[in-house]
Chain A
Amino acid sequence: MFDVVSFIPRAVVQGVPLLLGSTGETLTEKSGNLNLGIPGIMYVGAISGTIGAFLYETSLPSPDALNGFLAVAIPTLACLAGSLLMGLIYCFLTVTLRANQNVTGLALTTFGVGFGNFFGGSLIKLAGSDMPYLALSATSLCFRKTLPWAQTTGWFGKVFLSYGFLAYLAVVIALVAGYVLRHTRLGLHLRAVGENPATADAAGVNVNRYKYWATCIGSMVAGLGGLYYVMDYSSGIWSNNAFGDRGWLAIALVIFTIWRPNVGVLASILFGGLYILDVYIPSGMNLAIKEIYKMIPYIVTIVVLIITSMRNKRENQPPASLGLPYFREER
């Protein structure tokens, strides 16, 4: 029997990093920047948060002295700072220096994944643990604190209330981002920059400023996805390469939601569900077929990509100048 009540929460916790990553990437892409560095940025966000938490935990005289507020604030700020720096590197290279976005993004991913694994490995060594991972369970407990009613309200509590605060924050960020993009002047300007920067420029919109802001905020949001993964999903345990290909899946989710963060709220849960579907579908002894199930999110994404391009509806297209640098004097 398919256990829905236990399936949904697991799909949600899988989906939250994807949701944050894809919201960040959507904001970035709306400004015309195709940031393929998102996987790297999420790694850096995760490791920066881990470093912050590690430094805080080791600075305490005893584990009981842990201050709940600081235990959350320090990793979060560290994570935001780390991913902001990554976003700034990307912007400086692609917007100010007008470098090729694909190349810059891929370099950023190489750098970010290396950065995460390097410092992750070093922290593991510093902590002197004989296992190949680092556990920050005290900090993680603060991140995983759920609403008080989660335990007492039965299936309702399990499905809706059993998550750490970052999960709810992710939903709020996605909804706010969706609203800002569609219903505010700010969003209109941002979309104009992504669709046709020359026109936006002529209308008096500061193209570079919008690109910088959108990409940097997007990076920070995506970085939070990494933080959520380490601190909440995997209970404060950092092990190298555990984050896997979720960064790319977040980029896939952007396409799947046709550049709408509010659609992403449900779509990310769907993707999260597809990601763990192989655990739930009874496949008996046939382990190989599980690998095929893991293909589904990517295939679905491709199908969406193809259908949107075939139907050619204007509002469902990628931003028109996605991936192109803007140089005023080249018009």
Chain B
Amino acid sequence: MNKSREPLFHITKRGALPWYAAWGIRGGAVLLALLACALVTVLVTGENPLQVFATVFNGSFGSPRRVWMLFQNLAMLLSVSLAVTPAFRMRFWNVGGEGQMLAGGLATAACMICLRNTLPNWAVILCMVLSSILAGAIWGGIPAFFKAKWNTNETLFTLMMNYIATQLVAFFIVVWEVPKGAGQIGIINQSSEIGWLPVIGSYKYLLNILIVAVLCGVMYVYLNYSKHGYEIAVVGESERTARYVGIKVDRVIIRTMLLSGGLCGLTGMLLVGGTDHTLTTTITGGRGFTAVMVSWLAKFNPIWMILTSFLLVFLQRGAGEISTSFGLNQSFSDILTGVILFFIIGSEFFINYQIHFRHAKEG
């Protein structure tokens, strides 16, 4: 029974691929994914594929309002993605962005509601910023503390924290609901606009977008050119090495998660104070989870993240537009997002590994 044949192909790890080749592969995957999505859409709607693509484009760029919405959504998604990235670089799987955002949003709403009659507007906003960062940091810091001390599984821990935050928000929604029994808070401070982030000119979302743009640049510098960023990278590569060179690993873990959670909380503040002016349990819109994918697709690089979050937001809005104009329900965009993600996730394999076929090296 000695049938040792060389297998049809074998797989080896690639050395570093030049960046243009890597992004070429990813671009190819996106194109394939778009084709697959078009196929699915055509099968479901029976429309001409070109028509479908035109609709997708229209969904994002059809009118100035849509362009603003696109950039607003892009900014929010990018903001969460930036927030979770330092943790990911440390190989700390923070899938609790959702909960940390809710905690921040809750703190913001609390400031807007409880301080509106006692403090001037600027002080309320200051309290909102500080308390939202603090709330998010606490929400992220708890799992980090246990990870650092007892190596508690952080993926599962942060995941559970999401639902505790959701229920906490649900609790306060009932406490603050207007009118009693409505089950929702409604727009907070509609007439006085206390605690609403200021509007630059007549562009409602410009401030959010600017804040996130600055955050993106700062995060890039922090991760790549600061001592903290270097420590994060070392801990992520190998905890033992980090310990050997004298980095206090538990301190880095807790510090990084406080930062990550705090920024998620800040994003929650931007959502509540700068965008929706209300608090619901679904205000985050699943961005905490989408951010995991955005960050990973961009290889944890803040600049590339602009591109990947743009891609996802563009597709979501496009697919939303398909749903409306062809009379499908809104969940269609989730299906398309899923399909595209599968393709991109799969394409990483061809960047990291090489397939050698048997015939390739005869003799």
Q: Which A residues have a C-beta under 8 Å from some C-beta of B? A: 34, 36, 89, 92-93, 97-100, 102-104, 106-118, 121-122, 240, 245, 248-249, 251-252, 255, 287-289, 291-292, 294-295, 298-299, 301-302, 305-306, 309-310, 312, 318, 322-323, 327, 329-330
Contact = CB atoms under 8 A, between A and B. Distances in A.
13 contacts: A93-B345, A98-B353, A102-B93, A106-B293, A109-B289, A111-B339, A117-B329, A118-B332, A252-B156, A255-B153, A288-B175, A298-B167, A302-B164
Given A99-B349, A245-B163, A309-B146, A115 B335 contact: yes
Shortest 5 CB-CB contacts between residues of A and residues of B: A114-B334, A111-B338, A117-B331, A121-B329, A288-B174
Interface string B151-170: 11101110111111011101
Given A117-B331, A291-B167, 16 more contacts: A34-B155, A36-B155, A99-B349, A110-B338, A111-B341, A255-B156, A288-B171, A288-B175, A289-B171, A291-B174, A292-B167, A298-B163, A302-B164, A310-B150, A323-B155, A329-B11
A309 B153 contact: yes
Interface in B281-324: 286, 289-290, 292-293, 296-297
A36 B288 CA distance: 14
Interface of B: 11-13, 93, 95, 146, 150-153, 155-157, 159-164, 166-168, 170-172, 174-175, 286, 289-290, 292-293, 296-297, 328-329, 331-335, 337-339, 341-342, 345-346, 348-349, 352-353
Given A93-B346, A309-B152, A287 B338 contact: no
A312 B149 CA distance: 12
Given A103-B292, A114-B338, A309 B151 contact: yes
A218 B71 CA distance: 40
Given A306-B150, A309-B153, A310-B150, A104 B345 contact: yes
Given A99-B345, A117-B331, A329-B12, A111 B157 contact: no
A114 B292 contact: no
A102 B163 contact: no
B334 A111 contact: yes
Contacts of B164: 295, 298-299, 302
A53 B44 CA distance: 21
- The binding surface of chain A is classed by DSSP as helix
A175 B331 CA distance: 37
Given A102-B95, A305-B156, A114 B150 contact: no
Contact of B160 (A110, A114, A302): A302
B334 A110 contact: yes
Contacts of A295: 163-164, 167-168
B344 to A, nearest CB: 9
Contacts of B159: 36, 248, 251
Contact of A107 (B167, B168, B175, B293): B293
Contacts of B152: 305-306, 309
B167 A114 contact: no
A118 B352 CA distance: 35
A103 B296 CA distance: 8
Given A99-B346, A100-B296, A108 B338 contact: yes
Contacts of B161: 298, 302
B320 to A, nearest CB: 12
B334 A291 contact: no
Contacts of B328: 118, 121-122
A291 B176 CA distance: 13
Contacts of B160: 252, 298, 301-302, 305
A100 B95 CA distance: 13
A110 B335 CA distance: 7
Contact of B163 (A248, A310, A329): A248
Contacts of A322: 153
Given A251-B159, A295-B168, A298-B163, A318 B153 contact: yes
A330 to B, nearest CB: 7
A185 to B, nearest CB: 22
A305 B159 CA distance: 12
Contact of B286 (A98, A110, A330): A110
Contacts of A255: 153, 156
Contact of B348 (A92, A97, A108, A323): A97
A92 B346 CA distance: 9
Contacts of A245: 163, 166
A99 B329 contact: no
